Amino acid sequence: MGDEDKVKSVLRMMPYGFYALTSRNGDDVNAMVVNWVSQVSYTPRLVAIGLAKSAYSHGVISEGKVFALNLFHNEDKDAIMGFTKSREKNPDKMKDATYTESPEIQCPVLAGASAYLECKVVQIVDVGGDHDILVGEVINADVMKDGEVADTLTLTEVGWSYAG
């Protein structure tokens, strides 16, 4: 096994959640799936997300400066699957989406989500790769369906890999 294959193998061994990132810029709203997500500070509470530079949401978030992270339980994975296709492949996905607006930043909270974080953009860091690091300060959250970390949807539960 070559060194590149070992790197890929190790990166694919790391656990990744499977979330819906929603955004708003004026009347333009979007939702996409993400999995490279982590809390990166206690004070202030910050999260970092690997966001593809080519994603439609990148532009919406860059301009609107807000986003929400929607969490789902394993049993509710069907509710997130409609957001796996890009806006280019499914331009009407938000027209058919069922959601409410989050109270602080009015980003979509998708039907079926178990919880969400509302965030204001702190920084978008260009690290020279195909993804930027989106850093957001968590300003509000809510839980609609109690659960434990083991209940939260992951790439493993979906049967996908997005690493390596």
Task: Report all structural domains of the chain as residue ranges with CATH numbers, in order of start.
Answer: 13-154 (2.30.110.10)
The phi, psi pair for 79, rounded to 5°, reads: -70, -25
Q: What's the CA gap between 128 and 132, in Å, rounded? A: 8
- List pLDDT tens digits, range 10-20: 998 999 999 99
- List pLDDT tens digits, range 50-83: 999 999 999 999 999 999 999 999 999 999 999 9
- What pLDDT was estimated at residue 5? 86
Tell me the average pLDDT of the chain. 95
- What pLDDT was estimated at residue 163? 84
pLDDT band with cut points at 50, 70 and 90 for residue 1: low
Return the HEC string of 70-115. EECEHHHHHHCHHHCCCCCCCCCCCCCCCEEECCCCCCEEECCCCE
pLDDT over 90 at 161, yes or no: no
pLDDT over 80 at 2, yes or no: no
Lowest-confidence segment of 100-104, 127-131, 158-162 by average pLDDT? 158-162
The reported pTM is: 0.95
pLDDT band with cut points at 50, 70 and 90 for residue 4: confident
Q: Give the count of beta carbons closer than 10 Å to the beta carbon of residue 29.
A: 19
- List pLDDT tens digits, range 85-98: 998 899 999 998 99
Lowest-confidence segment of 39-48, 88-97, 142-151 by average pLDDT? 88-97
Return contacts of 119-122, CB within 8 angstroms, 24+ apart. Answer: 119/47, 119/66, 119/67, 119/68, 119/69, 120/65, 120/66, 121/61, 121/62, 121/65, 121/66, 121/67, 122/46
